[in-house]
Each structure stands twice: as structure tokens, then as C-alpha cells.
Amino acid sequence: MNINDAFPSKYLKSSDIDALPAKEAKMTISNVAIEDVGTQDSPEHKPVIHFHGTEKGMVLNKTNAMALEVDFGPETNSWIGQKVAIFTQPVMFSGRQVRGLRLRAVFEPVPQAGSALAQTNPDPRPTPPDDDEIPF
């Protein structure tokens, strides 16, 4: 039995990402909202980022929020549709080292005319994410 299965969470945890073969997940942001997180006795209002293709959101700490702000701007509405990589790294928490979730923007290269990449994909328009649903 995996002990993490005994304590399910509606939010992403480092063990969710570390269990992946690539040790990271590339996701497309679908929404950012302030939610009550923590216990029912003492909820905290925190920004939570949601992704296409998964029900689990990710509670944003200041480090991750500022990383996204640098790449996508301060308005969270401009983050919707952007691609990010979620990975883990060692961080200090309550005086001990643990694995913490981190985010980085994923920018896909724009092919230059005449390059090998441009020849394999001659249409310069970005490809829509695979996880979007078409409403027809």
C-alpha cells in the first residue's frame, strides 16, 4: 500500500509529481481562484491554480506566484491558457527539508523560416492544447 493513498487530497502534493516517471508534469492553466484551504476550524484564503485535465488544484505560495508573475504578468487572468511545468525540489519547511512543488513557464519555440523545425511544421499558428474540449 502506498501511504499517500491513505491520505487523499484535493490539491497537488509533491508525492503526486515525484510518482511520475518524468518527475514533472506539463500542464495548461485553466483557472486561478482564491479558495479556503486548510482545516475547517481555521481556513486560510489562498490562490489556487487549476489545470486542464486534472481535478486537483495547486495551492500557490509566494515563490510560485512570483515565478508566474515574472513570465505571465501580475494579472492571473493572463495566466489562463499558459503552459507550465510542475516539478519538485528540496525546500525548508518548519525547520526540516522536504520536497516542495515548483512551477516554471513552458514556452514552445516559434520556428524560423527555413529552419528544420519550420519545415516539419509549416503552419506557424500555435497548436491548441490536447486537453481542451471542443464544444460541438
- Give me the amino acid identity at 20: L
- Residue 1 pLDDT: 72
The SS3 call for residue 10 is: coil
DSSP state at residue 57:
B
CA distances from 125 to 75, 98, 104, 108, 130 (A): 25, 41, 23, 12, 15
The helix or strand, by DSSP H or E, that contains position 78, with its residue range, turns out to be: none
Q: Which of 25, 98, 24, 26 lies closest to 61 in space, CA to CA?
A: 98
Give pLDDT tens digits along the chain (136 positions): 777 677 778 899 998 999 889 999 999 999 999 999 888 888 889 999 999 999 999 999 999 999 999 999 999 999 999 999 999 999 998 999 999 999 999 987 776 666 555 555 555 555 555 554 544 3
The SS3 call for residue 42 is: coil
